[in-house]
């Protein structure tokens, strides 16, 4: 009977477990408030959960905001992005984001990564003029987030980092040989290279994210 009970318990036990991450909502609110004030046309602040061990984006099963004993769902992408709503009341009430991570761990190794990037809807029909506007807005948001003093200690803004959907083929890489390549899926455009977006479009290269290209000494 005892052995049968053990087998039954094993069958009822989950084959995988999920860890939970809790994050203070005021952190998110501060960055969202900056974007709200700037009313940027081309850029936004995105929140990702990234595993600090292997740098992969964490898989989210569920995300909620908790105030006292009340839980309210927030939007998220299973691939690791959090999309909390903007609410000064939830900040004042001490809201906490409760995120269930599908990682088969008891304790999560996922950290919050805050990324300033071009809005996804702006990635189509890119032109040199639009890239210039994106670059200017990204620079402005980073300086605003750094504060009055911190903005003087930011790394230099060299241009834009283009993350690609697929690695460049040999032919594409040869055609873009004057550009700096951070990897086979990342192109770096300095402030004088924005005209190259015309060639990138002609080569049918799919861009999935645009972030600042910062250079540290």
Q: What is the pLDDT of residues 49-73, one digit of tens each?
A: 999 999 899 999 999 999 999 999 9
Name the domain boundary from 117, 148, 172. 117
Considering the domain architecture, whether residues 124 and 153 belong to the same structural domain is answered as yes
Same domain, yes or no: 100 and 174:
no
Residue range 17-28: mean pLDDT, rounded: 92
Residue 80: its pLDDT value, please?
96
**Residue 116 has what pLDDT?**
95
Global pTM? 0.83
Of 61, 93, 117, at which residue does a domain stop?
117
133 and 184 assigned to the same domain: yes
Question: Is residue 8 in some structural domain?
Answer: no
Note whether residue 165 is domain-resident.
yes
Q: How many domains does the chain have?
A: 2
Q: How confident is the model at residue 11, as a pLDDT?
A: 36
Average pLDDT over residues 130-156: 87
| Residue 216: per-residue pLDDT | 67
pLDDT band at 12 (very low <50, low <70, confident <90, very high): very low
In a domain, 7, yes or no: no
Q: What's the chain's average pLDDT?
A: 89
pLDDT value for 1: 43
- Tell me the pLDDT band of 16, cut-offs 50, 70 and 90: low
In DSSP terms, 76 is beta-bridged to 82
Q: Note whether 152 and 112 are same-domain residues.
A: no
Domain assignment present for residue 160? The answer is yes
Clarify whether residues 76 and 113 are in a common domain. yes
Token digits of residue 165: 């959907």
Is residue 41 included in any domain, yes or no?
yes
Note the maximum CA span of the chain.
77
d(CA 4, CA 21): 36
On whether both 206 and 189 belong to a single domain, the answer is yes
Q: Are both 108 and 25 inside the same structural domain?
A: yes
- Looking at the structure, do residues 95 and 154 belong to the same domain, yes or no? no
Specify whether 27 is located in the same domain as 105.
yes
Would you state the pLDDT for residue 215?
Answer: 78
Same domain, 109 and 133: no
Residues 214 and 190 sit within 8 Å (Cβ to Cβ): no
Does a structural domain hold residue 12? Answer: no
Residues 21 and 51 in one domain: yes
- Of 117, 151, 186, the residue at which a domain comes to its end is 117
**Lowest mean pLDDT: which of 12-21, 93-102, 106-115?**
12-21
Assigned domain for 141 exists: yes
Same-domain pairing of 37 and 97 = yes
Confidence grade of residue 10 (pLDDT, cut at 50, 70, 90): very low
Average pLDDT over residues 173-177: 93
Lowest mean pLDDT among 6-15, 20-29, 87-96, 145-154: 6-15
Given pLDDT bands bounded at 50, 70 and 90, which one contains residue 145? Answer: confident
Query: Is 2 among the domain residues?
Result: no
Domain boundaries, position 31: 17-117
pLDDT at 2 over 60: no
**Residues 52/110, Cβ–Cβ less than 8 Å:** yes
């Amino acid at each position: 009977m005892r052995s049968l009970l053990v087998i039954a318990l094993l069958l009822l036990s989950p084959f995988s477990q999920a860890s939970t991450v809790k994050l203070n909502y005021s952190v998110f609110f501060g960055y969202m408030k900056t974007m709200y004030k700037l009313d940027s046309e081309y850029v936004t602040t995105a929140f990702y959960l990234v595993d600090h061990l292997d740098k992969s984006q964490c898989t989210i099963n569920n995300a909620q905001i908790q105030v006292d004993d009340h839980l309210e769902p927030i939007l998220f992408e299973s691939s690791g992005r959090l999309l909390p709503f903007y609410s000064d009341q939830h900040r004042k009430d001490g809201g906490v984001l409760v995120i269930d991570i599908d990682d088969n761990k008891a304790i999560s190794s996922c950290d919050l990564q805050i990324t300033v990037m071009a809005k996804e809807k702006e990635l189509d029909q890119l032109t040199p003029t639009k890239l210039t506007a994106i670059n200017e807005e990204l620079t402005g948001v980073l300086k605003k987030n750094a504060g009055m003093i911190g903005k003087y200690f930011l790394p230099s803004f060299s241009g834009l980092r283009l993350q690609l959907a697929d690695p460049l083929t040999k032919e594409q890489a040869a055609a873009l040989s004057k550009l700096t390549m951070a990897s086979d899926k990342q192109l770096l455009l300095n402030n004088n290279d924005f005209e190259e977006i015309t060639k990138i479009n002609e080569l049918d290269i799919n861009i999935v994210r645009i972030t600042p290209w910062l250079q540290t000494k």
